[in-house]
Structure 1
Amino acid sequence: MDGQAYTLLLGNVMHATVEAIGSFDLVLPTGLIIVLDNCHFAPTITRGVVSISHLVDNGYIHTFTNYDMHDLYLNVSSIYNVSNKRAKHALDSTHLWHCRLGHIKKKRMEKLQRDGILQPTHDESLEKCKSCITASREGASYFITFTDDFNHYGYIYLMKHKHEVFETFKVFQNEVENQLGKKIKVIRSYRGGEYLSYEFVNHMKSYGIVSQLTPPYTPQHNGVFERRNRTLLDMVLSMINLTTLPKSFWGYALEFAVHILNMVPTKKVDKTSYEICHGKAPKLSYLRV
């Protein structure tokens, strides 16, 4: 059967052209012959793959007896390579780092490459990242972010209730003063009730912190906050969509997204926020996906 009009979507988000569709006799080392129906022949795919779950549905039982497996990554489909003893990650290096860095935009990837933090490549697969395309602004319950206006270094804290904002701010204040030896001088926020409570206002006055409140219904006056939170939620959804992890893992993904943003370039500063804050370039080699 001619299959020129068909293509297969591969694990690295590339497409392979199907030239024929039909039956295939799979001969196992034991001599057993399994007739596979609806097989797709794509010459550009160098290894044959078969759906284990489809075989099980047809009465077959498959047992894994070779435990010499390493470089094993989470597989979100029901497709396994039955001819290879080693499960390998098929993503190209550019897309792999795109995933490791929480699906940051292409321009940030290119800046990391120009600065020598990542190896330069000429791959265009970032334009086809399915996780980025399908990401939407759904998301988290309660969290609060603080961003240094000088170096754009970000902090994030998860909360069960909105009334925890004041106590969370004190934790943030202690962290900044103890770790960086700096004093908070100005807090810019929208006119949310959690920032206007009697105890919060008195606390800022006692520490000499100036409160800058944006006008009502003008999020553009606090653009750093708005853009950062939107970016974080997009990154979290992209990372969650890439895996089979439950939505309850959003908190870990959110904290990791902030960690990533601190280590990648921004439009406002020449160096990464991490480098400005800590005086040395970030190391990305430990990131995995």
Structure 2
Amino acid sequence: MEAIMDAQGLWESIEPQAGVAVDEKKSKTARAFIFQAIPEEMLLQVAKKKTAKEVWESLKTRFVGAERVQKARLHTLKSEFESMRMKDGESIDDYAGKLSGMISKYNSVGAVLGDEELVRKLLDTVTDKYIQLVASMEQYSDVEKMPFEEAIGRLKAYEDRLKLRQGSSTGERSLLFTKAEGVSNNRGFNKHGSGRGHGHTGGDRGGRSGSRGGRGSSRGRGDRHGGRTHHEGNTFHRKSQYKSHVKCFECNQYGHYASECKAEKKSEPENIWYLDSGASNHMTGRKDAFAELNEGVTGQVRFGDGSKVDIRGKGTLLFQYKTREQLVIYDAYYIPALTSNILSLGQMTEEAYVIWLHEEYLRVYDEQKRLLMKVRRSTNRLYKIELTLARPSCLATSLVDEAWIWHARLGHANFQILEAMGSKDLVTGMPRIKHPKKICEGCLVAKQTRKSFPDKAPWRASKPLELLHADLCGPITPQSMGGNQYFFLIVDDFCRYMWVYLLRSKDEALAKFKIFKAQVEKESRYKVKTLRTDRGGEFMSNEFIDYCQQEGIKRQTTAPYTPQQNGVVERRNRTVMGMTWSLLKSMNVPERHYGARLFGTPSTF
């Protein structure tokens, strides 16, 4: 706020120079600026202040406080600053943002939080995984003179490196997605002996004999046909004890991993799809799964273990639900080396799908909040679902099917137009179209229009008050001189005479109708028999309905969103308001006097 008024040249009205009189016009302008910037409830508290300086001092005392209050707030801020600690899982950017936020809080009470304090606080309170970098910075850098931004940058760079190293994970999850088993560098035992590769006995150029759990008694690449050393025996004994609690996901037996299982592998159905939050794109190895495929798209996909597979195309997948509805998945990669089908949850969120993980279920919703998938977590912590591919029928088998293709291709154009375009060769490649005998359901639903309403009502009242048309109009801006913003209009169907009542709110409609009924029934000696209104809340309330039932008044209400059925009073509303505003404008009468003019409208008609 101070910056805005300073830019407008109004700050001198808040803090005038000694001996210089304050410009009254600038003071009023600055006061108006302040009033626009504060909420309404606060505006009422400072509205009595006459000058901008008085308003500013009042707000300053309220938010900044007196000197004692500022000292108390500063003490609270210092306690808050001292208790700040970086949480596990919190990023450097988030934690540094919290520390930076304390600078403005200190400034608000007239204190300064310098770079030295911020850097010291940052280095002392980061989590243990940054301890090596902190020690290096304290030993080789002058942290007392280091800018706060430089300290953040160094920690951020170290954090990015940690994320990069942690991201290269391997295991069964990556092995699930590729046939190329020999692409990654596997370690462990060879088929006939220990060591990292085949070699000659007695080698001395490095390498290790045995598994990663221990070394053999001699160095070298291992005896291709030899047995295990005594160290290897101990290692296998320890590993077998450890694996006694491991359950295989293939055969559900204990003592080995799924990758070591000797049981016959189960063949996975082709229509199983994995919902993967770690995949960057939809991908499949099935070429027949694509409804459309552009084989000109090429590239590579890198997995978590560093292996790569080639992309041979990109296209659209089409799935079909049991309800015959279809799900379209765009921009899926065709990768022949894949043995599994993957749907990327990240890519689905970009396409406006909503992903919800709760307990052991994963749910996928569309833009209309409809549930599309509900997948239970499997024993190996994967989410897989069986999806049926939709097989679009071939529409190019006959001339009739060609007609439907061109009908859809040209935006559901009329078949007579299509026949003329085909016969006159107006479109290159368009065949001669014959009008099919079937009707396009999409055109019927989308192009139908509402039937015109009749010009005259099929029935008119034969006596006064036999049928009344009523409607409520408003709210009208501005309010009338009496504070009214609605008017209640009633038209008699027999003689078209009308009555107008002004209302402050809609809930006065019933009270005005009671007054009207008592008055007209005594004046005319006729009884109100039927009342026709729309379905507004003022007419559909329980009190209004009960009153009409007690008085024997028959109710007629319009269909929803069909004001034409009460067209008599709707048209009269428009005529009355047009007449009223025209008279006020032509005579230069303020608009708030429209209430008096409305009372005179019935006599004009």
Q: Same fold (TM over 0.5)?
A: no
Tell me the TM-score normalized by structure 1: 0.42
Q: Larger relative CO (CA 8 A, sep 6+): 1 or 2?
A: 1
